[in-house]
Amino acid sequence: MIRFGLPGEEARLLQDTAERFVADRYGLAQRAVMLARPPQEAPAHWREMAALGWLAAPLPRGVGGLGMAPVHLQGLLETLGAGLILEPYGPAIMNCAATLSRLLPRAQAAGALAPMLAGDRVEVLAASPMGQALVQAEPEGDGWALSGTVPLVPGGAAAHAFWVAVDCGAESALAHVPASKAQVRGFRLVDGQAAASACFDGVSCGPRACFTGAADALAHGADMGLWAALAETSGLIGALCRATLDHVKLRQQFGRPIGRFQVVQHRMADMYMHTEEARSMAQLTAEALEEKDAGVRRRLLSAARVKTDAAARAVLRDAVQLHGGMGMTDELAVGHMVKRLLVLAQTGGSRAAHLKRFQASG
């Protein structure tokens, strides 16, 4: 049931804190320093984010989380997205931790999640963007022998362990592999986010590290991870739109601010509409995540990916264009936002993949 309420007090407080966090920690110069560090280093403000309760926020109370619903987290995620944060909040928390909260029995989940939510440990999923297995598992004793490579593991460079989606025949399954046992190559994606490729050839998993019947948990994690990307995108589109609006109000050409030209005004109106629609879809899907019917949930999420992608593209094109040459440089936030949008557009599955899923669900 879709309610479309306004954000509550708690959500507003969370967003206010996030805005201060971004203002204090994520100036472009501060961010440049972080970008120059090796991707294998622990995420810069991860413990602080844990202390603020952000890592625990989306997870159920029973497993050590704060049990905040997505509708109440949208403001936080939009702000972190607009702030271009480099910490792996999406992959480690919204995607991986959410998966574990469904996969493991409650006590075991609480135990596994405790160090993650405290910011002491980073664990991420190793799978395709939509949660499919890219690694093979063959029976070996009571456990599995793995083989295969996941070329892109968001947040993987600094991960202590991977939850590897494996193909072991019919069942949907996960293998828990310490980073030390895999061949991990850390790098930064075009937007500066730390990621890795991880090769699992020759990795053996004992029976306690093998988990079958993971379909529902993986799907839940994929839903949450996609939604987080959509909410971040929504925040980022809004920030790009605001930055462009500020620019066209100030930038003088032909004797007046370029925002006085009708063509620029209408382009800004288009950007505004895209911003509003992206936010609507983020909110719609936040509500949809509480929807019982998985078909409806996935259908709305796929729709949101398609619409948000169109919005992001249009806005990034126009933002660069209206900034002129300055929009092409690495010196303004615009360029960094554009690169982040390109990465978010692939996070949780591309527009094309979700358009297909949407059509198939009709």
Kindly list the residues in this chain that would bind its own copies in the complex (CB under 8 A): 261-263, 266
Residue closer to another protein by CB (options 6, 170) is: 6
Asked if 300 and 322 count as a contact pair (C-beta separation under 8 A), the reply is no
Task: Collapse the DSSP code of 150 into the 3-class scheme (helix H, G, I; strand E, B; otherwise coil) and give the result.
Answer: strand
Mind giving me the DSSP string for 102-127? HHS-HHHHHHHHHHHHTTS--EEEES
Q: How far is the CB of 325 from its own copies (least distance, A)?
A: 21
Site for another protein contains 277 (CB under 8 A): yes
Contact between 247 and another protein per CB under 8 A: no
* DSSP 8-state secondary structure symbol assigned to residue 144: E
User: Do the Cβ atoms of 101 and 123 come closer than 8 Å?
Assistant: no
Q: Return the one option of its own copies, another protein, none that residue 17 interacts with (CB less than 5 to 8 A, by type).
A: none
329 touches, from another protein, its own copies, none (C-beta below 5 to 8 Å by class): another protein
Q: Which helix (H) or strand (E) holds 252?
A: strand 252-253
Q: Which is nearer to its own copies, 1 or 263 (CB)?
A: 263
Q: Judged by CB, which is closer to another protein: 168, or 189?
A: 189
Residues 335-354, one symbol each (x = binds another protein by CB under 8 A, - = not), give xx-xx--xx--x---xxx--
Calpha distance 179→203 (Å, rounded): 11
For residues 4 and 48, which CB has a smaller minimum distance to another protein in the complex?
4
3-state secondary structure of 175: strand
Q: Which of 125, 189, 194, 222 is in the footprint of another protein by CB under 8 A?
A: 189
Per rule CB under 8 A, count of chain residues that contact another protein: 76
Contacts of 180 (CB under 8 A, 6+ apart): none
| Residue 333 interaction partner, one of its own copies, another protein, none, beta carbon < 5-8 Å per kind | none
Q: What's the CA gap between 283 and 179, in Å, rounded?
A: 36
Residue pair 197/157 in contact (Cβ under 8 Å)? The answer is no
Angle at 181 between CA 175 and CA 182, to 5 degrees: 80
Largest CA-CA distance found in the chain, in angstroms, rounded: 78
If the CB atoms of residues 83 and 259 are measured against another protein, the closer one turns out to be 259
Q: Which of 25, 47, 181, 260 binds another protein (CB under 8 A)?
A: 260
Counting contacts by CB under 8 A, is residue 259 touching another protein? yes
Q: 252 touches which of another protein, its own copies, none (CB within 5 to 8 A by kind)?
A: another protein
User: Position 242: which residue type?
Assistant: R
Would you count residue 325 as binding another protein (CB under 8 A)?
A: yes
Binding positions for another protein, 281-320, rule CB under 8 A: 281, 283-284, 296, 299-300, 303, 306-307, 313, 317, 320
What binding mask, one character per residue, do residues 135-174 give for another protein by CB under 8 A, x or -? --------------x-xx----------------------
Determine which residue in the list 93, 103, 195, 243 makes contact with another protein, applying CB under 8 A: 195
Identity of the residue numbered 163: W
84 is a site residue for another protein (CB under 8 A): no
Residue 305 zone, left/alpha/beta (φ > 0; ψ -120 to 50; rest): alpha
d(CA 178, CA 121): 11
Q: Figure out which of the listed residues 122, 268, 301, 312 binds another protein, where binding follows CB under 8 A.
A: 268
Phi, psi of 143 (to 5 degrees): -120, -145
Show the tokens assigned to 292: 């019982």
